Amino acid sequence: MTEIPNPSARDPVPVEVPGADPAGLRVPSSGAHRVVIVGGGFGGLTTARGLGNAEGIEVTLIDRRNHHLFQPLLYQVATAVIAPGEIAEPIRAILRRDRNVRVLMGEVEGIDVGGRAAILRDGTRIPYDTLVLATGATHSYFGHPEWERYAPGLKTLDDARRIRARVLLAFEAAEREDDPAARERLLTFAVIGGGPTGVEMAGAIAGLAHHALSQDFRRIDPKRARILLIEAAPRILGTFSEDLSAYSRQALERLGVTVLTDHAVEDVSEAGITVQGRLIPAATVVWGAGVRASPAGAWLGVETTRQGHVPVGPDLAVIGRPGVYALGDLAQAKAEDGTPLPGLAQVADQQGRYLGRALRDRILHGRAPQPFRFRSRGNLAIIGRNAGVVQWDHVKLKGFPAWLVWGVAHVYLLVGFHNRLVVTLRWLWAYVSFQRGARLISERDEATMALISGKPPAKAPLP
Ligand SMILES: Cc1cc2nc3c(=O)[nH]c(=O)nc-3n(C[C@H](O)[C@H](O)[C@H](O)COP(=O)(O)OP(=O)(O)OC[C@H]3O[C@@H](n4cnc5c(N)ncnc54)[C@H](O)[C@@H]3O)c2cc1C
């Protein structure tokens, strides 16, 4: 295994910012081993924490956003259950006690592998001795990037806000629509992809339409909204056992969701979606079907999988790039039986914990680490009120017990006591009242309204 040289003899190296005062960004101490982590999601953050306060190691964590995001609850922001700030925490605040870790907000656009520096969008070079890439994944539209405009995916807080605005605006537009066919299109919501995100999203839209909004309109009846879940495979929740998958389908149908399996989407446009050669008019389409790893493989010039994953060895080192590591949704790491590990928060989190410890050992003591071993904490998905599925080895739960396990696990994993408390209270309130506390359309987005209603934006108001 590659030994990382003891870097204590290294001179302090300033961060180079073209046109800026380099002294202002000088790395504070001298002689330390510089670890640069790109990405403050589950993988990058836990790696940084593992290296926190390690003497002789200086960590720079770079993220294009200032916050760590708890993606598993994004769908609840998109369906107005919780507010955006409740699932995000400033990365600086999380790492404030780790005195050797500094946080830079910036977008990495490339890596100078030979020169050992990460390059930011504005040309700033951040030199490293060890590089950790944890830049995650993004949506993939199977070669149809033009679909994104009509079928946004759910990955960031902005995505969730945008989807929330579309869903709520669709009901608003329907309330003032006279044409029955146009009204039906506005009240049709299609979720593409029957994995956990699609199932959770479809169940939550059904809860919103059939309960939370049911009394609030006068011309339309939100209970008559059509919610479709479209899946190309023969069953939804394909990573769960067949009986849990069948249960989930029934639970969704009880909520009023129409589940279409064996239906590959052929087109997505302003008019709606096309499946099996038939157009289904739908104003709101949500994409939960495909993901693609971030472009970090291209930065390194390594061969990736078809979905852009960077292959790593058992110690998470990028093959053929000494001193560079990749983890989480970006990496393709393998389980002991040789199967690729799934893109899950628990995988990224465990890898980050492992890598933090392993790098400490290597850098400070020159010890080669044991290989990484993933310990599954089970597969979880929620379908709607009182219904969920949990699968953990041979243990299977469904219905209310699974729903409860899901809730406790997600609150426990949220970062920050404040967020845990507020989310728990929000859920309790939603449970007893059937209401959604975050049903605000913050600004009246003319462009979104135009996209949904299929009508040109209204004239700008006179000053
Ligand atoms: C809607 C949704 C629901 C999910 N539900 C579950 C669930 O229930 N259970 C579960 O286990 N997993 C779930 N996942 C998957 C889980 O969230 C991911 O597996 C996990 O976030 C991966 O962690 P990561 O650190 O690899 O990447 P991420 O958490 O995505 O973090 C990547 C970070 O890198 C930053 N970044 C990216 N590119 C750059 C760049 N060029 N420069 C600077 N910074 C950059 C991003 O801003 C981000 O902060 C869900 C994912 C989604 C989208």
pLDDT category of residue 132 using cuts at 50, 70 and 90: very high
Position 19 scores a pLDDT of 35
Residue nearest to atom 31 of ligand 1 (CA): 41
The whole-number average pLDDT for the span 194-206 is 96
* Most informative mutation of 71, 94, 161 for ligand 1 (most atoms within 8 A of CB): 71
Distance 31 CA to ligand 1 centre (A): 33
- Indicate whether 175 pLDDT > 50: yes
The whole-number average pLDDT for the span 435-451 is 68
Position 385 scores a pLDDT of 85
Task: Render pLDDT for 328-339 as a digit per residue (tens, 0 to 9).
Answer: 999 999 998 999
Position 430 scores a pLDDT of 82
Position 5 scores a pLDDT of 33
Distance 222 CA to ligand 1 centre (A): 33
Position 444 scores a pLDDT of 56
Q: Which residue has the higher pLDDT, 5 or 357?
A: 357
Which atom of ligand 1 has the smallest separation from the CA of 40? Answer: 49
Position 456 scores a pLDDT of 57
Task: Render pLDDT for 347-368 as a digit per residue (tens, 0 to 9).
Answer: 999 999 999 999 999 999 999 8
The whole-number average pLDDT for the span 87-100 is 95
* CATH of region 145-288+440-452: 3.50.50.100
Percent of the chain with pLDDT over 70: 89
Residue nearest to atom 16 of ligand 1 (CA): 345
- Indicate whether 228 pLDDT > 80: yes
Which atom of ligand 1 has the smallest separation from the CA of 346? Answer: 11
The whole-number average pLDDT for the span 419-424 is 84
Distance 435 CA to ligand 1 centre (A): 29
Residue nearest to atom 46 of ligand 1 (CA): 39
- Indicate whether 13 pLDDT > 70: no
The whole-number average pLDDT for the span 234-238 is 96
Distance 10 CA to ligand 1 centre (A): 34
Per the residue annotation, which of 109, 200, 231, 253 is the catalytic one? 200
- Indicate whether 20 pLDDT > 50: no
- Indicate whether 416 pLDDT > 80: no
Distance 370 CA to ligand 1 centre (A): 26
- Indicate whether 411 pLDDT > 90: no
The whole-number average pLDDT for the span 49-76 is 96
* Most informative mutation of 344, 382, 408 for ligand 1 (most atoms within 8 A of CB): 344
Distance 146 CA to ligand 1 centre (A): 23
pLDDT category of residue 61 using cuts at 50, 70 and 90: very high
Residue nearest to atom 27 of ligand 1 (CA): 136
**Residue 242 falls in the annotated catalytic set:** no
Distance 105 CA to ligand 1 centre (A): 17
Position 6 scores a pLDDT of 34
Chain mean position to CA 333:
19
Which atom of ligand 1 has the smallest separation from the CA of 65? Answer: 47
Class of domain 22-64+106-139+291-365: alpha beta
Count CB neighbours of 104 within 10 A: 18
Task: Render pLDDT for 259-283 as a digit per residue (tens, 0 to 9).
Answer: 999 999 999 999 999 999 999 999 9
Which atom of ligand 1 has the smallest separation from the CA of 107? Answer: 42
Sheet holding 101-105, edge to edge: 101-105, 57-63, 33-38, 130-133, 324-326
- Indicate whether 1 pLDDT > 60: no
Which residues form ligand 1's pocket by a CB distance below 6 Å? 38-44, 62-65, 71-72, 74-75, 107-108, 134-136, 154-155, 196-197, 294, 328-330, 343-346, 348
Position 461 scores a pLDDT of 42
The residue ranges of every structural domain in the chain are 22-64+106-139+291-365, 145-288+440-452
The whole-number average pLDDT for the span 375-381 is 91
Task: Report the chain's mean pLDDT, rounded to a whole number.
Answer: 88
Position 462 scores a pLDDT of 37
Position 431 scores a pLDDT of 78
Position 432 scores a pLDDT of 77
Percent of the chain with pLDDT over 90: 74
- Indicate whether 246 pLDDT > 70: yes
Which atom of ligand 1 has the smallest separation from the CA of 67? Answer: 49
Is there a contact between 260 and 275 (Cβ–Cβ < 8 Å)?
A: yes
Domains 22-64+106-139+291-365 and 145-288+440-452 in one fold: yes
Which atom of ligand 1 has the smallest separation from the CA of 109? Answer: 41
Residue nearest to atom 8 of ligand 1 (CA): 72
